[in-house]
Structure 1
Amino acid sequence: MVPPPGLSHTLGFVCKLKKALYGLKQAPRAWFEKFSTVVSSLGFTSSHHDSTLFFRCTSAGHIILLLYVDDMIITGDDIDGIASLKLELACRFEMKDSGTLSYFLGIEVASSPRGYLISQSKYTMDVIERARLTNNKSADTPLESNARYSSSDGVPLTDPTLYRTIVGCLVYLTITRPDIAYGVHIVSQFVSAPTTVHWAAVVRILRYLRGTCFQSLLFPSTSSLVLRAYSDADWASDPIDRKSTTGFCVFLGDSLISWKSKKQTVVSCSSTEAEYRAMGSTTTEIVWLRWLLADMGVSHSSPTPMYCDNTSAIQISHNSVFHERTKHIKIDCHLVRHHLQTGTISLSFVSSSLQLADFFTKSHPVHRFRFLRDKLSLLLALAS
């Protein structure tokens, strides 16, 4: 986690806490309860929407604290308050101050007047080395254009261990690499019984990563704090079970802060139905992000625009009468319509050519892939 875009003069610090409190090994739950009690006594409030997030807002500024197992990030614009907090915590816990945030759980963070850049370059190279690729070829895209895979493709791998290991690593890479989200979503579906064809798809993703190893996700320092979202679906895209793929991305100003590529759990009877299910998933994410930002002092009084390229799905959300064609998606209809009527979201049409969530629903030709990637605040520096 980096400081929210728009907070001026924010600093991030990393600390490592020992779980041996007062010399006694404690269970994770007891450890977390002890930590929560201590930081609460220091004036911090626990988020109701992320149990590992604590925040404190005073006239001097903001301090946000994020705990991950025994690693902790402290960030905010109250410099004196951060220094005092670190001293207080050092008195209560055995703690190592790792200094200014630059590397955290495999994620590299760099700051400049332009903003924050996060990447996983070192982790990417480690994954490529672990996969034992035999040549230095690179690929222009993670997957071939219009690629479709099934469980019956190719010959089963004699030992799927490496496949599962690399796919697990790729899943972690999607934290900072939205450009591989769809490809990883595809290869993850075959971890139980991978084949040579599926391994070839993994290798292509790795070759794409080799050529874009030093790509970073930019959080501009001048970005606004206004949310906007894009929602899309690829109808009946799975060649075996004919389930659709949901894709969405959410921006905070110019900063991409959330994205997803996921196969829907049920079969949709039409493209409109698939699109509406995707809108339901996107709405849920918007609501959670608005709550989380409100915890950090960033409130949104106006609706969050959600862009969709299916006019029928938009019309359904505005129509209070359920028709035969919508009886299978009533829950999503109620969810989207409720938040539309209460002013949480607004729905806007966007042409398919400018639908950014399309990036997360299918593979694309090189020119289309690069066009969408450039719209996601990804800065590309080619590996040497």
Structure 2
Amino acid sequence: MTDLGPLRYFLGIEVFSTSDGFYISKEKYIQDLLARAAFGDERTVETPMELNVKLQPTDGDPLPDPTRYRHLVGSLVYLAITRPDISYPVHILSQFVSAPTTVHYSHLFRVFHYLRGTITRRLFFPRSSSLRLQCYSDATWASDPSDRCSLSAYCVFLGGLLIAWKTKKQTMVSCSSVEAELRAMALLTAEVTWLRWLLADFGVSITTPSGFV
């Protein structure tokens, strides 16, 4: 084994250590991804996806070669490990990798325009933080126009540290927005239960109840 010193770069993830905590980013990975994408448009946008967009498989014309779309979406899936702000659009766009269209491709372009303007954003993990789990969940009711399934999303903070997040389509059709919210809460509850067990294995004892919002 070789001691390579303090961790600074690993699998595209950059780690910066300060007296206050650690910063984790993928700035170089995004730069390389933008170079591979070869977008000539230098515009930036404020959000990775427009509000109330409901994409369908039949939108637009099929791409003659979907390879490029699949490659870029796959790269964004890995990027979302450290960029929770693109979790939702990546989840939506990844549903069309089998048969992408020109409309799907244009929305993929928007994500890259957003990344160009937010390339320096990073996650911060302070050295000192409380050990209380604070959890947030939400759901969109019947948001998929093709099968009317709802979407669940959550994020979990350990004190001031964002440690888990997810966007996932529900497997069954919810008959009301309340039912969709309950399914999202159930997904989050399972995640929090696992996190408490994991932290206990690390010797981190959490005695306070987890907060749900």
The TM-score bracket by the shorter chain reads over 0.9
- The one-letter code of the counterpart of 2:95 is Q
Where does 1:254-265 land on structure 2 (aligned, <5 Å)?
A: 254-265=160-171
Larger radius of gyration: 1
**Which residue in 2 is equivalent to 1:230?**
136
* 1:59-208 → structure 2 map (5 Å cutoff): 95-208=1-114
Distance in 1, matches of 2:63 and 2:38, equals 16
Aligned pairs for 1:22-61 (under 5 A) are none
Of structures 1 and 2, the one with the larger relative CO (CA 8 A, separation 6+) is: 2
> Which residue number in structure 2 is paired with residue 219 of structure 1?
125
Structure 2 gaps of 5+ residues are: none
Cα drift, residue 277 of structure 1: 0.6
Shift of 1:126: 1.1
CA–CA distance in structure 2, aligned partners of residues 169 and 228 of structure 1: 30
Deviations 1:241-270 (A, max 9, x none): 110000100000011110011111111011
Residues 132 and 208 of structure 2 are in contact (CA less than 8 Å); yes or no, is this contact kept in structure 1? no
* Counterpart residue type for residue 155 of structure 1: D
Calculate the TM-score normalised by the size of structure 1.
0.55
**More strand as a share of residues:** 1
Match in the other structure for 2:208: 302
1:320 match:
none
Instruction: Give the letter for the 2:9 counterpart.
Output: Y
Once residues 187 and 73 of structure 2 are traced to their aligned partners in structure 1, the CA distance between those partners, rounded to angstroms, is 24
Displacement of 1:98 after TM fit?
A: 2.0
Taking the aligned partners of 2:101 and 2:183, their CA distance within structure 1 comes to: 31
Secondary structure in structure 2 of the residue aligned to 1:117: strand
Whole-angstrom CA distance in 2 between matches of 1:231 and 1:156? 35
Question: What SS does the aligned partner of 1:258 have?
Answer: strand
C-alpha distance after superposition, 1:253-302 (max 9, x if no partner):
01111001111111101111111111110001001110111111111122
Paired residue secondary structure (1:99): coil
* Contiguous gaps of at least 5 residues in structure 1: 1-94, 308-384
Task: Report the TM-score when normalising by structure 2.
Answer: 0.97
For these two proteins, the number of residue pairs brought into alignment is: 213
Quote how far apart the aligned CAs of 1:216 are.
0.6
Q: Which residue of 1 aligns with 2:173?
A: 267
* Deviation (angstroms), 1:223: 1.6
